[in-house]
Every structure is written in structure tokens, then in C-alpha cells.
Amino acid sequence: MRLSLLLSILAAPLAIATPAHADFRVCNGSQNLVGVAIGYRGSDGWVSEGWWQVPASTCATLIEGELKSRYYYLYAEDAARGGRWAGNVNMCVAENEFKIVGVQDCFKRGYQQMGFKEYDTGRQGSWMVQLSDTPGTQEGQK
């Protein structure tokens, strides 16, 4: 009887389900601070927001919780060397912290326009992008 009680006590933590952590993360594999912006389809249309400051060899969560879209867009700049991780999907950015609805007429609305790289998450609940030490090189993975 004691052995079965001991086994049930030891097994109890295994029976408690812990929810899977889902989010969109960016990991900075470079040696410099990187500023990151993300774009996605929100309830009010296309949204771009930033800047997350991601120190060398660390990660940042840009979107917390289960991902709701299939496609996400990323733009990043190396703060020290000026290199960029970019793509060909134009979205608006601002010099300081921002959340911008809409991707049209960036300049007319007082914003800058940058090319974001598209990531097809395949509707995965979470996604991580690894920025390499060479700007322009990035990998997306679930």
C-alpha cells in the first residue's frame, strides 16, 4: 500500500497538464543590438509595430499567445553596423515606438516605408525567427 501511495504522489505532477507556450519570437544570433518590427493582419487590417530592442544572443517575444494568422512579416536593423534583415513586402515604420494600422501612403502619413520579409507559419501556433550574424540571413521555424 505504501509503494502505491508513493508512486501516485510521484506521478501526480506528470498528470497535471501544463499549457503549451505559443508565441512569435525573434532570436538575435548576431553580436550587436538589433531593432525589430513585425507586421501582421489584425482585425482592423494590416498592422506594423515596433521597435523591440533585442540584445546580442537573446530572444524577444513579439506576439504572446497562440498565433492567429498564417503570415507574419519581419524587419530588423543592426543598431551598430546598420545592416538590415528585410524583404519585399512594404509596410510602414516610425522612428520611435509605433503601432501603425494600414500599409498604404506611409510617407503621406508621416512614416517611413521598409521592406518586410514574409514568414508562412503554415498556421502553426508558435513561430521563431533566428537572425544570424550576417544581416539579411534569417531562418523561420516552428
pLDDT digits (tens, 9 = 90+) for 98-136: 999 999 999 999 999 999 999 999 888 889 999 987 655
Split at pLDDT 50, 70, 90, the class of 2 is: very low
Q: Does domain 20-141 have CATH number 1.10.10?
A: no
pLDDT for 13 equals: 38
Instruction: Break the chain into its structural domains and give their ranges.
Output: 20-141
Split at pLDDT 50, 70, 90, the class of 94 is: very high
pLDDT digits (tens, 9 = 90+) for 16-62: 333 456 789 999 999 999 999 999 998 889 999 999 999 999 999 99
Residues 6+ apart with CB under 8 A from 102: 45, 46, 92, 109
CA distances to 39, 40, 91 from 77, in Å = 15, 19, 15
pLDDT for 82 equals: 80
pTM of the model: 0.78
Q: Decide which of 110 and 83 is more confident.
A: 110
pLDDT for 134 equals: 65
Q: How many helices (H) and strands (E) does the chain have?
A: 1, 11
List of E strands, the chain: 23-28, 34-42, 45-54, 59-64, 71-78, 84-85, 89-93, 98-101, 112-120, 127-131, 138-141
